């Protein structure tokens, strides 16, 4: 089976949903996670702290430097992700539709590169 990353996106500066909406979203995502596990599609998932908590690490000319993040200056940000197994892109897209419904946010689907043999 091929692996895909389903990434959840949000807009920086957008007001967070009310607490009751967040609780509903958390419950929906928990249910989706259980479904992935029961179907054998689950590999790994996680939510991320806001982009302003990031640290960017750069290596150049033998030196490593760190700076406060985020790396990209953008309004859209990665908020969390799933790594799943699916037979093909169509199956991954179907799961992404369920993920988007559960977390009430856009979900991007990207395949992992195949490992060279």
- What confidence tens digit (pLDDT) does each residue in 66-105 have? 998 777 777 778 889 999 999 999 999 999 999 999 999 9
**Has residue 45 been placed in a domain?**
yes
Rounded Cα distance, 2 and 107, in Å: 18
**Has residue 9 been placed in a domain?**
yes
- Give the model confidence (pLDDT) of 40-72 as tens digits: 999 999 999 888 888 989 999 999 999 987 777
**Has residue 107 been placed in a domain?**
yes
**Has residue 29 been placed in a domain?**
yes
**Has residue 116 been placed in a domain?**
no
User: What pLDDT was estimated at residue 24?
Assistant: 96
| DSSP one-letter code for 35 | H
Is the pLDDT at 12 greater than 80? The verdict is no
User: What pLDDT was estimated at residue 114?
Assistant: 83
Q: For the chain, how many structural domains are there in total?
A: 1
Report yes or no: 77 and 9 within 8 Å, Cβ to Cβ.
Answer: yes
Domain region containing 35: 2-111
**Has residue 62 been placed in a domain?**
yes
Residue 36: half-sphere exposure toward Cβ, Cα within 13 Å: 27
Report yes or no: 40 and 46 within 8 Å, Cβ to Cβ.
Answer: no
Percent of the chain scoring above 90 in pLDDT: 71
């Amino acid at each position: 089976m091929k692996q895909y990353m389903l990434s959840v996106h949000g807009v920086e500066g957008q007001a967070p949903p009310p607490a009751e909406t967040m609780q509903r979203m958390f419950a929906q995502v928990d249910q989706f996670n259980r479904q992935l596990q029961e179907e054998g599609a689950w590999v790994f998932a996680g939510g991320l702290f806001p982009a302003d908590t990031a640290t960017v690490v750069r290596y150049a000319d033998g030196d490593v430097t760190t700076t406060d993040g985020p790396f990209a200056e953008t309004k859209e940000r990665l908020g969390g992700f799933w790594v799943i197994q699916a037979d093909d892109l169509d199956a991954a897209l179907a799961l992404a539709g369920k993920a988007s419904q559960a977390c009430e946010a856009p979900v991007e689907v990207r395949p992992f590169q195949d490992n060279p043999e």
